Amino acid sequence: MTGDIPSSGHSPSPVGAPADHLGHRDRLRDKLVSGGGAGLHDYELLELYLFRCIPRRDVKPIAKSLIARFGDLGGVVTARPVDLASVKGISDKTAAELVLIQALAERLAREQVIGRPVIASWSALITYCRTALQHARTEEFRVMFLDRKNRLVADEVLGQGTIDHAPVYPREVVKRALAHEASALILVHNHPSGDATPSQADIDMTRSLMEICRPFDIVVHDHLVIGRENTSSFKTLGLM
């Protein structure tokens, strides 16, 4: 028997999927288009992304499992691929796709600050730093290098360590600053514990670095400590 088959506008539901599976996907997409991401829960945004990675399954339970396991959307996309793949329904390929979200977020945030005066884009700089470090599970020390017009010309990771320590070598920081012909620096590191309060070691290291930079006419504008919920500024706290 031949002839056209009446179409409802959708492909047949995947075997084993709920009857309303595709209708649910369409409703989520409509909700995103009409109201933007602000009108969606974390797990719903994750669902929308997983639709592309896992096309033949109801991904709502998987999305909820990921949020339950890693805490929130940021925790999901910054998780290690091996940990993501341990969640039922997540393959190694899908884990790599989820890691891609964080890489894209960092790149987009960086584009808002690179080559721009930091004073005019300070909130964007904070957003970039938080995007990169807010959910990091180990401590990371970054340096933002600025030119004479206080434009961000480069940022580099100059120390990576454990959950509560990242080795920092002030002379290496100065070496990299000279290589970039930088006239000023902004130091940034995270506290994986979540508490953005500067430690005494943070304060001592910053003051030591400022002393080493002074003969080279390199100014340290600020040192930012990134916590889970907030960010501390040495300059605002009167620590420099």
Domain 116-237, architecture per CATH: 3-Layer(aba) Sandwich (3.40)
Topology alike, domains 21-107 and 116-237: no
pLDDT digits (tens, 9 = 90+) for 7-17: 334 444 444 44
Please give, one letter per residue, the 3-state secondary structure of the chain.
Answer: CCCCCCCCCCCCCCCCCCCCHHHHHHHHHHHHHHHCHHHCCHHHHHHHHHHHHCCCCCCHHHHHHHHHHHCCHHHHHCCCHHHHCCCCCCCHHHHHHHHHHHHHHHHHHHHCCECCECCCCHHHHHHHHHHHHCCCCCCEEEEEEECCCCEEEEEEEEEECCCCCCCCCHHHHHHHHHHCCCCEEEEEEECCCCCCCCCHHHHHHHHHHHHHHHHHCCEEEEEEEECCCCEEEHHHHCCC
Domain at 21-107: CATH code: 1.10.150
Residue 233 contacts residue 135 (beta carbons within 8 Å): no
State which of 20-24, 115-119, 138-142 shows the largest mean pLDDT: 138-142
All residues at 6 or more sequence positions from 43 whose CB lies less than 8 Å from its CB, including other chains: 60, 63, 64, 66, 67
The per-residue pLDDT for 1 is 41
pLDDT digits (tens, 9 = 90+) for 84-118: 999 999 999 999 999 999 999 999 998 888 888 88
- Amino acid type, 63: A
Interatomic CA distance for residues 113 and 146, integer angstroms:
11
Residue 129 contacts residue 224 (beta carbons within 8 Å): yes
pLDDT over 90, % of the chain: 57
Rounded average pLDDT over 38-59: 85
Q: Which residues pair with 84 in a beta bridge?
A: none
Interatomic CA distance for residues 147 and 203, integer angstroms:
25
All residues at 6 or more sequence positions from 109 whose CB lies less than 8 Å from its CB, including other chains: 124, 127, 128, 131, 132
The per-residue pLDDT for 141 is 94
How far is the first Cα of the chain from the last one, in angstroms, to the nearest whole number? 83
Torsion of CA 86, 89, 94, 96, to 10 degrees: -10
Question: Which tokens sit at 11?
Answer: 């492909």
The per-residue pLDDT for 9 is 42
Interatomic CA distance for residues 230 and 240, integer angstroms:
20
Query: Per-domain residue ranges for the chain?
Result: 21-107, 116-237
**Residue 21 banded pLDDT, cuts 50, 70, 90:** low
In this structure, the number of other CB atoms found within 10 A of the CB of residue 186 comes to 24
pTM of the predicted model as reported, rounded to 2 decimal places: 0.75
